[in-house]
Amino acid sequence: MIIKIDEYSDVPIYMQIRNQIVMGISSGELKGGEQLPTVRALALEIGINTMTVSKTYQLLKQEGYIMTDRKNGARVRENIAQSGVISDSNRTELKRIVSEARLSGVSKEELKELIDGFYSE
C-alpha cells in the first residue's frame, strides 16, 4: 500500500496516514495479520518525522484497527470489533459532506449511488 501525503491539506499528516490505512483495511488491500512498515521505515518512505507515524500507529491501536508489540511490530488486526455505530465525529463529517453535496447540486439519489459504490469497494 502506498501512502500519499497532501502537504497543503488542512488534515494533519497523522490523520491522513490513519485514514488511508483504515481505507486500505476496509477495501481489503490490507489483510488481517498483515505486517505494517516499521515506524522508522514509513517515516523515511514518506519523508516525515518518526513521531508522526508513531502517533498514527498509537491512534490505530487505540481504535482497534491494528495491534503492536516490540517483537513483531504493527500488524492489522485479524478480527476488528464491529460496533454497528458511527462515531460522533464521523457523523459530523458525514453531515458536512451531505451539506456540501446539497449545495453543489448533487441529488440525494446521486449521493446514495456514490455511497453504494464506496461501500461495495
Q: What are the tens digits of pLDDT across the range 4-43?
A: 999 999 999 999 999 999 999 999 999 999 999 999 999 9
CA dist 92 → 37, 75, 88, 96 (Å): 31, 29, 6, 6
User: Residues 6 or more apart from 6 whose CB is under 8 A from it?
Assistant: 16
pLDDT of residue 113: 94
> Quick one: cell of 19?
485514514
Residues 41, 66 within the same domain? yes
Residues 50, 98 within the same domain? no
Residues 58, 95 within the same domain? no
Residues 25, 65 within the same domain? yes
Tell me, yes or no, whether 47 lies in a domain. Answer: yes
- Residues 96-119 have a mean pLDDT of 94
Q: Given a cut of 80, is residue 92 above it in pLDDT?
A: yes
CA dist 94 → 51, 77, 101 (Å): 29, 26, 10
Q: What residue numbers bound the domain in which 56 lies?
A: 13-76
Residues 21, 55 within the same domain? yes
Q: Given a cut of 80, is residue 121 above it in pLDDT?
A: no
What is the residue-averaged pLDDT of the chain?
93
The distance of Cα 20 from the centroid of its chain, to the nearest Å, equals: 4
The more confidently predicted of residues 121 and 15 is 15
